[in-house]
Amino acid sequence: MEQIIRILELEGKVPVGFLKPRTLSRYFQEQGLSKRDLHHAVKKEFRHFEHEAPNDCWQADTQHTLYLPDPKNPEKRKKAYLIAIIDDHSRRIMHAEFFFEERYPRLERCVQKAVLKYGAPHLFFCDNGSVYNAKQFKVICARMGTKLIHAKPYSPESKGKIEKFFQYVDSSFTGEANLLINQGKLTTLKQLNEYLRSWLEAYDNRVHRSTKQTPRKRFEANQENHRLIPAEMLREIFLWEEERTVRKTAVIELEGNMYDVDSSLRGKKIQIRYNPFDLSYIQVWKDGQRFDDAKPAELLSQSHSKLPDESVDDSSSTYVSSFLEQLKQRQEEEKRKQLGTPSFVQWKEKQSGGQA
């Protein structure tokens, strides 16, 4: 019953949590349908169900698949976690990346990169683990206008697209990567992710058995559904949010830092929004109204303690610091394409080709 309800929720036929298993079971009994009939019907439906257009639905999950030399102790191996996001309609990988831990900021980073490249999804369907249930992730999805739905426990068939992708990773990527690791040719996360990006390029241009198209062509065939978000809005969307009660001295605390806020907010509950990589800048909100930014009175921590230890991750957080710059470049490139204006790089390549 849970699987049938999940199908109806994914198709938007019923609101999430509205339909109960007991109600649906009673209805089917009245129609003379047995559990066996329903079981076969559900398996077939999951096999054939797909969303109608790109970005209608993204599926995400984490795979524990490889072990790399530990950066802090190369004699030992450290587990690498693969977080992957797939577009349900096209089977294109929106983003995939290896990390040394499965923590929420890693998922957020993957979603940032995916939205930067392809726009925001209408629905985000993911595992029920703590990473995907993080409060900040729910806030971010709400700001993007993305409905967040979690799979029911012990129902891998509901995440069929991402599960199939992980099976393909196991059969076509993991073995070769392990061979390179054992030969000492692949030793760092940076190298592993570079190898993954090359492999994904081939995956994107390989004809998919179910769709009879390459994921790239199927995704690009219909761009009407691509909800591209302006750079400034995306920066606001990915700010973390927490509640605080303002002290009588018009002061709030975050990560050991003290901040002065508007004196009219004394004793009141407020919402603060901030970039976890830069705690010198804190927005102050109350009942949907933005007040003056909090002013650092005592700044002991520059970044949030929940951020992963970048000393063991050679891919670092440079993406976050240059997020807007990359997004603006991409948006400018898209405008040039629409206007038919070649970029400087394209012009140089054309000039070089003309001289050869």
- Domains in the chain with CATH codes: 2-48 (no CATH), 57-220 (3.30.420.10), 239-298 (2.40.50), 322-355 (no CATH)
Cα torsion through 156, 158, 160, 166, rounded to 10: -40
Tokens of 214: 């390459």
How far is Cα 125 from Cα 176, in angstroms, rounded to an integer?
Answer: 30
How far is Cα 289 from Cα 297, in angstroms, rounded to an integer?
Answer: 23
- Count Cβ atoms within 10 A of the Cβ of residue 44 and give its class: 0-12 exposed, 13-18 middle, 19 or more buried: exposed
**pLDDT tens sequence for the chain (356 residues):** 555 666 566 556 667 667 777 777 776 777 766 555 555 554 444 445 678 899 999 999 999 989 999 999 989 999 999 999 999 999 999 999 999 999 999 999 999 999 999 999 999 999 888 999 999 999 999 999 999 999 876 555 557 899 999 999 999 999 999 999 999 999 999 999 999 999 999 999 999 888 889 999 999 988 777 888 887 888 899 999 999 999 999 999 999 999 999 999 999 999 999 999 999 999 999 999 999 999 999 999 999 998 886 555 554 444 443 444 554 565 566 556 555 544 444 544 555 554 43
User: Roughly what angle, to the nearest 10 degrees, separates helices 2-10 and 35-48?
Assistant: 30
pLDDT, position 83? 97
